[in-house]
């Protein structure tokens, strides 16, 4: 039997693989063979791995495309495959109950995909798939018909700004590098991505590595570099593997190496693995790391475009920045500049996580409101609780309170609100999140990741963390809030690199918008009932049925009570583990 | 040349000069801890921050190269406030035991704490405690006092070319260590000791021997080899208790292990101060009968006569080429010249060599 025009796509990003993507893919192979759909597999029924499509929570996601009709299934396990093949592929009746629902469609509707446009639809391990969607046409066009200066002008006109954090205009950076009179220049792709919870760059490399490589070729041509590096963390084995495969395929196809496509332009790319220090994402630390030194930042100026890797002019661009380049060259600067805001053009990929229904990877036009992201794309808050804040920008970012949810998401607006686009982490916080605790979480991270070079960051973040810790433990002292603010400002002003300069932002922004929570802690209360030391557990007599479940669950023996009579928690013995709270079926245990 | 103004004073300096160096040319004082003029800039202590017109955040003057028309302010209430915070942070993680520290009186951190009048500390908290001491024979490494200025790491790499130590760990736990935190096992040149601004690195032999104020400094030339490094002997009473070297002399203050730490022989009771002649009877070509007194103390005249007569005897019996001379690197050029002259014309042989060739 022949299946006409059938394509089966299995999501095989890190999320997909973790959920069993490999087994699902194998199951499809086996079932199709059993069903006799083996003949003409290549022509009529192709099946391939695709990279991340964003909604990792619903993995393994599978597309069954018959003719021009695409059906997407969610939460697929290998044992579900026989039924899909039988009912859908053979009998043409899609399995309705396994199909994605409205939330999946809503998740995608408000997004606008540039960088991710081919992620999730092409096989990242097949260069011909990329070429099939006009891949490497931009590089060809640039090398055969454009002068380096024209390329730079195009990128400048597009308004593209760096997606790695600071939002520096990419065209301007390239222009300075292009002007440097040096025989040797370098282009580095920053794929270090160390922010907790961020996985944008990983997904781009896993889903479409050739777009990044093509962006690098174009960038190298524009600035006159003949050597490139991708600095990528070793904790991303799949991305590394796909990147390496893509590089060797690109080399074989003549897109990298000497005299590329018959032109005089030479360029090749090396992969350099990072050992997972967050600070190595900072450009001067990254350079030190490539040079074999300890990854410690150095003071700027001089900036790397003047004096970078091995002392030579070096452009460092983020993965997403570079992946935008081929699309800009192909579709034109005007096309790119047509979305976004006046100062923040184009789209931005965010890793949407936290207390949100649809967590995953999203790409949205700059200038979209935070509200649209949270409530439309994200589908609202888990358990329909109330939104408290959205934390953006990772450990250097800040918290935007629910009251400001109408604000536009772009570089300027976020900075004005005391936060940061950063590399694109977006953590949604609800009423059960304690803001002091959130600030403490980020400080724990920055404090541990500080490279130790400069005093304000090395010792300052430690002291900030100590103050936050004692506040969350109810041991805060008078004046602690003021001291926290003062030290935060000083660490921000005096630190050497972006890590230390940004580390106090989570504190400053939560003090700015949630000062009352800090004050409550100093008075001995955690309003969100998160900070253990500030909680008291007690039994609401009117709800207690005297079932004794809590009494049996309490490891400290703090609960007493007779059968069928209200129980009692002795707060002097209680160790605040929360076992009684979790075990009570009648919601009779309260914590405050 | 680049023209700029610092605290309203105009100066012209060569391109590539740092703001700190330009300020020093104008005799403007900027506090520093991690900077060392002979080492590449580090930018870690953040004390040397200055305001640059048009730049939103303070920049470290030790790392910032001058540029045309720059307008620098080196001291404002905001800058001094940040410096004070930085110092308090350092001191919040410091043993503060100046009372018994070898470096007291000569310590940059102590001096800055003094000038900034830091008595109270807003930021008490955890302090690094290291129980294990480094068991090497020469250098006391008290890493609790280390402020991680990186000077020792740089001097060892950039000047000595040894790279025996480097930064390890991250954040508050950062520490300067030899590989795998083993005991230091290097050349023991002590350049690191020389550049350390605090009491973290000192000589083991310095321990509790005397304060700087009781010391007479005597400049001399090292007699260990013909290089002739300048030494400053720190003498208390009639005892050398430490040796340093001046940075403005030709060896720029750098020494080797012998010059820096090999001074204890001077006061050793075992030291030979007078010539001695062996008196024990000879048993064979290379052994002597063990008697209570192997040697007898003699005058220089007697000793030299003895040597001369023996040399003559050997020369007479076996010819001049049966004698060879080996001179010492501890002698001056002139002495070495005289020695080879003596061998060639006095003894009559070309068998003459020098320990530096070995
Ligand atoms: C502590 C720290 C970590 C950083 N981590 C990253 C990172 O993981 N990826 C990245 O692209 N940029 C990171 N950056 C920003 C880079 O220093 C640099 O600005 C960026 O790679 C430039 O690329 P762009 O112009 O394309 O944004 C980090 C900066 C700091 C201060
Ligand atoms: S701010 Fe932190 S990470 Fe950056 S140089 Fe200073 S210590 Fe290192
Ligand atoms: S004694 Fe010399 S070689 Fe040894 S660590 Fe110090 S500077 Fe390096
Ligand atoms: S041991 Fe001394 S020179 Fe080395 S980093 Fe510590 S304070 Fe600086
Ligand atoms: S002297 Fe400039 S930062 Fe330490």
pLDDT of residue A50: 65
Q: Does the CB of A277 have a partner CB in chain B at under 8 Å?
A: yes
Query: Could you tell me if the CB of B198 is within 6 A of ligand 4?
Result: yes
- Asked, for residue B200, whether it belongs to a domain, the answer is no
Q: Does the CB of A460 have a partner CB in chain B at under 8 Å?
A: yes
Pick the residue from chain B with its C-alpha nearest to A499. B171
Domain end among A44, A65, A100:
A100
Cβ within 8 Å of A, B 153-172: 166-167, 169-172
A317 and A372 in a common domain: no
Core vs surface per residue A364-375: b (16+ CB within 10 A) or e: bbbbbbbbebbb
A466 and A400 in a common domain: no
Instruction: Name the residue with the closest Cα to ligand 3, atom 5.
Output: B164
Identify the band that residue B340 occupies on the pLDDT scale cut at 50, 70 and 90: very high
pLDDT of residue A16: 80
Q: Which residues does B223 contact at the CB level (< 8 Å), separation at least 6? A: B330
A146 and A44 in a common domain: no
pLDDT tens digits for A100-140?
888 788 888 888 899 998 887 889 999 999 999 999 999 99
pLDDT of residue A7: 82
Element containing residue A553 per DSSP (H, E): helix A549-553
A441 and A401 in a common domain: no
Q: Does the CB of A490 have a partner CB in chain B at under 8 Å?
A: yes
Residue B146 CA: nearest ligand 4 atom is 6
- Asked, for residue B14, whether it belongs to a domain, the answer is yes
Task: Give the whole-angstrom CA distance, residue A31 versus residue A351.
Answer: 35
B288 and B226 in a common domain: no
B260 and B281 in a common domain: no
Distance (angstroms) between ligand 4 centre and the Cα of A169 equals 40
- Asked, for residue A358, whether it belongs to a domain, the answer is yes
pLDDT of residue A42: 35
Positive or negative CA dihedral for A137, A140, A145, A150? positive
Kindly state the average pLDDT of the residues A157-170: 93
Q: Which residues does A201 contact at the CB level (< 8 Å), separation at least 6? A: A191, A193, A318, A319, A320, A423
Q: Which domain holds residue A240?
A: 127-336
Task: Give the whole-angstrom CA distance, residue A278 versus residue A282.
Answer: 8
Residue A297 CA: nearest ligand 2 atom is 5
Domain CATH number, residue A203: 3.40.50.11540
Compute the nearest-CA separation of B145 from chain A (Å).
Answer: 14
For the CA of B159, the nearest ligand: 3
A249 and A231 in a common domain: yes
Kindly state the average pLDDT of the residues A506-526: 95
pLDDT > 70 fraction of chain A, expressed in percent and rounded = 96
- Asked, for residue B206, whether it belongs to a domain, the answer is no
Cβ contact B167–A449 (<8 Å)? no
Lowest mean pLDDT among A142-156, B82-96, B196-210, B273-287: B273-287
- Asked, for residue A316, whether it belongs to a domain, the answer is yes
Identify the band that residue A44 occupies on the pLDDT scale cut at 50, 70 and 90: very low
pLDDT of residue A45: 46
A273 and A194 in a common domain: yes
For B86, the closest of A301, A456, A461 (CB atoms) is A456
B284 and B218 in a common domain: no
Count of H helices and E strands in chain A?
25, 17
Domain CATH number, residue B256: 2.20.25.90
Domain end among B231, B255, B271:
B271
**Contact of A365 with A347, CB cutoff 8 Å:** yes
pLDDT of residue B204: 95
For A456, the closest of B42, B46, B92 (CB atoms) is B46
A241 and A220 in a common domain: yes
- Asked, for residue B264, whether it belongs to a domain, the answer is yes
CA B221 to chain centre: 14
pLDDT tens digits for A255-284?
999 999 999 999 999 999 999 899 999 999
pLDDT > 90 fraction of chain B, expressed in percent and rounded = 82
Residues of A in contact with B42 (CB under 8 A): 453
Query: Could you tell me if the CB of A317 is within 6 A of ligand 1?
Result: yes
Cβ contact A462–B125 (<8 Å)? yes
B258 and B319 in a common domain: no
B303 and B265 in a common domain: no
**Contact of B123 with A479, CB cutoff 8 Å:** no
Identify the band that residue A584 occupies on the pLDDT scale cut at 50, 70 and 90: very high
Q: Which domain holds residue B56?
A: 2-75
Residue B201 CA: nearest ligand 3 atom is 6
- Asked, for residue A121, whether it belongs to a domain, the answer is no
Cβ contact A494–B64 (<8 Å)? no
Residue listed under structure tokens 């321990």: B207
For the CA of B189, the nearest ligand: 3
pLDDT of residue A450: 97
Q: Does the CB of B60 have a partner CB in chain A at under 8 Å?
A: yes
- Asked, for residue B89, whether it belongs to a domain, the answer is no
Phi-psi region of A85 (alpha: psi -120 to 50; beta: other; left: phi over 0): alpha
Residue B149 CA: nearest ligand 5 atom is 4
B236 and B250 in a common domain: yes
Beta pairing class for B71-73 and B2-6: parallel
pLDDT of residue A2: 53
Kindly state the average pLDDT of the residues B280-297: 81
A244 and A167 in a common domain: yes
Identify the band that residue A41 occupies on the pLDDT scale cut at 50, 70 and 90: very low
Average pLDDT, chain B: 93
- Asked, for residue A16, whether it belongs to a domain, the answer is yes
Tally of structural domains, chain B: 3
For B171, the closest of A296, A298, A452 (CB atoms) is A452
Tally of structural domains, chain A: 5
Q: Describe the crossing of helices B77-92 and B108-115 by its angle, rounded to 10 degrees.
A: 130
Task: Give the whole-angstrom CA distance, residue A93 versus residue B181.
Answer: 67
Domain CATH number, residue B53: 3.10.20.740
Cβ within 8 Å of A, B 295-314: none
pLDDT of residue A54: 66
| Site from A281, A470, A494 to mutate, B interface, most B CB atoms within 10 angstroms | A494
Identify the band that residue A43 occupies on the pLDDT scale cut at 50, 70 and 90: very low
Q: Does the CB of A496 have a partner CB in chain B at under 8 Å?
A: yes
Domain end among A336, A367, A400:
A336
Average pLDDT, chain A: 91
| Tokens at B14, concatenated | 């060569």
Taking the model in full, what pTM does it have?
Answer: 0.88
B69 and B18 in a common domain: yes
Kindly state the average pLDDT of the residues B192-213: 92
Distance (angstroms) between ligand 1 centre and the Cα of A395 equals 13
pLDDT of residue B16: 93
Lowest mean pLDDT among B29-43, B144-158, B224-238: B224-238
| Site from A278, A289, A293, A299 to mutate, B interface, most B CB atoms within 10 angstroms | A299
Instruction: Name the residue with the closest Cα to ligand 1, atom 6.
Output: A281
B224 and B294 in a common domain: no
Kindly state the average pLDDT of the residues B7-24: 97
B322 and B345 in a common domain: yes
Domain end among B35, B58, B75:
B75
A357: pLDDT strictly greater than 80: yes
pLDDT of residue A68: 80
Residue B60 CA: nearest ligand 5 atom is 2
A40: pLDDT strictly greater than 50: no
B244 and B306 in a common domain: no
pLDDT of residue A303: 95
- Asked, for residue A113, whether it belongs to a domain, the answer is no
Query: Could you tell me if the CB of B177 is within 6 A of ligand 4?
Result: no
Domain end among B254, B271, B288:
B271
Q: Does the CB of B210 have a partner CB in chain A at under 8 Å?
A: no
pLDDT tens digits for A81-94?
899 888 988 888 89
pLDDT tens digits for A232-244?
999 999 999 999 9
A440 and A390 in a common domain: no
pLDDT of residue A38: 54
Residues of B in contact with A495 (CB under 8 A): 46
**Ligand 4 pocket test: which of B193, B200, B203 has the largest number of ligand atoms within 8 Å of its C-beta?**
B200
Q: Does the CB of A67 have a partner CB in chain B at under 8 Å?
A: no
Residue A162 CA: nearest ligand 1 atom is 27
Distance (angstroms) between ligand 4 centre and the Cα of B174 equals 12
Q: Does the CB of A463 have a partner CB in chain B at under 8 Å?
A: yes
Domain CATH number, residue A71: 3.40.30.10
Residues of A in contact with B166 (CB under 8 A): 294
pLDDT tens digits for B33-53?
999 999 999 999 999 999 999
- Asked, for residue B134, whether it belongs to a domain, the answer is no
Query: Could you tell me if the CB of A321 is within 6 A of ligand 1?
Result: yes
Distance (angstroms) between ligand 4 centre and the Cα of B221 equals 28
Task: Give the whole-angstrom CA distance, residue A230 versus residue A134.
Answer: 23
A200 and A84 in a common domain: no
Residues of B in contact with A281 (CB under 8 A): none
pLDDT of residue B24: 97
Compute the nearest-CA separation of A315 from chain B (Å).
Answer: 21
A458 and A366 in a common domain: no
**Contact of A271 with A240, CB cutoff 8 Å:** yes
B280 and B245 in a common domain: no
Identify the band that residue B356 occupies on the pLDDT scale cut at 50, 70 and 90: confident
Query: Could you tell me if the CB of A450 is within 6 A of ligand 2?
Result: yes
- Asked, for residue A122, whether it belongs to a domain, the answer is no
Query: Could you tell me if the CB of A192 is within 6 A of ligand 1?
Result: yes
Residue B46 CA: nearest ligand 5 atom is 3
Cβ contact B171–A458 (<8 Å)? yes
Cβ contact A463–B123 (<8 Å)? yes
Kindly state the average pLDDT of the residues B321-348: 92
Backbone phi, then psi, for B243, in 5-degree steps?
-130, 135
pLDDT of residue A52: 62
CA A507 to chain centre: 22
Domain CATH number, residue A367: 3.10.20.600
| Tokens at A14, concatenated | 């890190």
pLDDT of residue A39: 34
Pick the residue from chain B with its C-alpha nearest to A501. B57
ipTM greater than 0.85: yes
A446 and A426 in a common domain: no
- Asked, for residue B177, whether it belongs to a domain, the answer is no
Residues of A in contact with B82 (CB under 8 A): 490, 493-494
- Asked, for residue B251, whether it belongs to a domain, the answer is yes
A67: pLDDT strictly greater than 90: no
B260 and B243 in a common domain: yes
Residue B43 CA: nearest ligand 5 atom is 3
Pick the residue from chain B with its C-alpha nearest to A495. B46
Domain end among A522, A547, A567:
A522
Instruction: Name the residue with the closest Cα to ligand 3, atom 2.
Output: B189
| Tokens at A109, concatenated | 């509707």
**DSSP labels for A473-539?**
TT---TTHHHHHHHHHHHHHHH-SSHHHHHTTHHHHHHHHHHHHHHHHHHTT--TTS--GGG--EEE
pLDDT > 70 fraction of chain B, expressed in percent and rounded = 99
Task: Give the whole-angstrom CA distance, residue A522 versus residue A479.
Answer: 10
């Amino acid at each position: 039997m022949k299946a006409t025009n059938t394509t089966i796509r299995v999501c095989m990003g890190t999320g997909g693989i973790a959920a069993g993507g490999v087994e699902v893919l194998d199951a499809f192979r086996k079932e199709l063979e059993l069903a006799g759909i083996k003949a003409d597999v290549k022509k009529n029924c192709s099946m391939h791995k695709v990279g991340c499509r964003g909604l990792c929570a619903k993995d393994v996601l599978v597309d069954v495309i018959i003719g021009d009709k695409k059906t997407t299934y969610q939460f697929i396990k290998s044992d579900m495959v026989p039924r899909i093949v039988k009912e859908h592929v053979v009998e043409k009746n899609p399995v309705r109950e396994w199909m994605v629902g409205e939330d999946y469609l809503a998740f995608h509707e408000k997004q606008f995909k540039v960088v991710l446009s081919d992620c999730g639809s092409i096989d990242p391990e097949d260069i011909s798939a990329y070429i099939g969607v006009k891949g490497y046409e931009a590089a060809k066009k640039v090398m055969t018909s454009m002068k380096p200066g024209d390329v730079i002008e195009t990128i400048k006109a597009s308004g593209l700004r760096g997606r790695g954090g600071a939002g520096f205009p990419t065209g301007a950076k390239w222009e300075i590098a292009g002007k440097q009179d040096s025989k040797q220049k370098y282009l580095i792709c920053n794929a270090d991505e160390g922010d907790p919870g961020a996985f944008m760059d990983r997904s781009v490399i896993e889903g479409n590595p050739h777009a990044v490589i093509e962006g690098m070729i174009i960038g190298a041509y524009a600035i006159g570099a003949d050597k490139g590096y991708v600095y990528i963390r070793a904790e991303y084995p799949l991305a590394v593997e796909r990147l390496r495969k893509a590089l060797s395929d690109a080399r074989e196809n003549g897109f990298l190496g000497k005299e590329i496509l018959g032109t005089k332009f030479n360029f090749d790319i090396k992969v350099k693995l990072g050992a997972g220090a967050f600070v190595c994402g900072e450009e001067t630390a990254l350079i030190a790391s490539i040079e074999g030194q300890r990854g410690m930042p150095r003071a700027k100026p001089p900036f790397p475009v003047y004096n970078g890797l091995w002392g030579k002019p070096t452009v460092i661009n983020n993965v997403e920045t570079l992946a935008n380049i081929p699309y800009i060259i192909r579709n034109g600067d005007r096309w790119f500049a047509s979305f976004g805001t006046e100062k923040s053009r184009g789209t931005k990929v965010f890793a949407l996580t936290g207390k949100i229904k649809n967590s995953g990877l999203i790409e949205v036009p700059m200038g979209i409101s935070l509200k649209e992201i949270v409530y439309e794309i994200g589908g609202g808050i888990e358990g329909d609780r109330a939104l408290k804040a959205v934390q953006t920008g990772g450990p250097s970012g800040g918290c935007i309170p629910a009251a400001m949810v109408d604000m536009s998401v772009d570089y300027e607006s976020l900075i004005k609100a005391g936060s940061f686009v950063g590399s694109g982490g977006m953590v949604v916080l609800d009423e059960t999140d304690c803001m002091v605790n959130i600030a403490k979480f980020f400080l724990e991270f920055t404090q541990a990741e500080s490279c130790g070079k400069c005093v304000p960051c090395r010792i300052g973040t430690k002291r900030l963390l100590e103050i936050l810790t004692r506040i969350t433990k109810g041991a805060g002292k008078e004046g602690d809030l003021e001291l926290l603010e003062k030290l935060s400002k000083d660490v921000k002003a005096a630190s050497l690199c972006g890590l230390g300069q940004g580390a106090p932002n989570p504190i400053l922004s939560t003090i700015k918008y949630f000062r009352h929570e800090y004050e409550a802690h100093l008075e001995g209360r955690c309003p969100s009932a998160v900070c253990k030391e500030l909680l008291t557990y007690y039994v609401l007599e009117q709800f207690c049925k005297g079932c004794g479940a809590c009494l049996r669950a309490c490891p400290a023996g703090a609960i007493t009570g007779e059968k069928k009579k209200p129980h009692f928690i002795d707060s002097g013995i209680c160790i605040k583990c929360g076992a009684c709270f979790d075990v009570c079926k009648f919601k009779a245990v309260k914590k405050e | 040349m680049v023209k700029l103004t610092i605290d309203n004073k105009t100066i012209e300096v060569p391109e590539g000069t740092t703001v700190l160096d330009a300020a020093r040319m104008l005799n403007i004082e900027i506090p520093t801890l991690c900077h060392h003029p002979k080492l590449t800039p580090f930018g870690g202590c953040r004390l040397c921050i200055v305001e640059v017109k048009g730049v939103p955040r303070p920049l470290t003057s030790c790392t910032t190269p001058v540029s045309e028309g720059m307008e620098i302010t080196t001291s404002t209430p905001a800058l001094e406030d940040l410096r004070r915070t930085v110092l308090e942070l350092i001191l919040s993680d410091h043993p503060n035991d100046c009372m018994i520290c070898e470096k007291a009186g000569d310590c940059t951190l102590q001096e800055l704490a003094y000038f900034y009048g830091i008595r109270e500390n807003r930021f008490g908290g955890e302090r690094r405690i290291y129980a294990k001491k480094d068991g090497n024979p020469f250098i006391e490494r008290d890493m609790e006092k280390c402020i991680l200025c990186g000077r020792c790491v740089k001097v060892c790499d950039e000047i000595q070319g040894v790279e025996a130590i480097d930064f390890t760990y991250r954040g508050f736990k950062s520490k300067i260590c030899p590989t795998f935190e083993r005991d230091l096992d290097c050349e023991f040149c002590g350049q690191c000791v020389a550049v350390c601004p605090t009491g973290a690195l000192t000589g083991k032999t310095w321990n509790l021997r005397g304060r700087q104020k009781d010391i007479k400094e005597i400049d001399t030339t090292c007699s260990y080899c013909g290089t002739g490094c300048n030494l400053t002997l720190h003498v208390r009473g009639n005892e050398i208790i430490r040796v340093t070297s001046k940075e403005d002399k030709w060896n720029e203050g750098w020494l080797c292990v012998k010059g820096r730490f090999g001074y204890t022989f001077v006061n050793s009771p075992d030291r030979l101060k007078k010539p001695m002649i062996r008196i024990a009877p000879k048993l064979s070509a290379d052994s002597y009968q063990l008697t209570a007194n192997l040697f007898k103390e003699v005058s220089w005249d007697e000793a030299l006569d003895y040597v001369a007569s023996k040399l003559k005897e050997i020369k007479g019996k076996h010819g001049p080429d049966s004698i060879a001379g080996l001179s010492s690197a501890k002698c001056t050029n002139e002495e070495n010249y005289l020695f080879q002259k003596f061998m060639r014309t006095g003894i009559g042989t070309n068998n003459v060599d020098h320990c530096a060739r070995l």
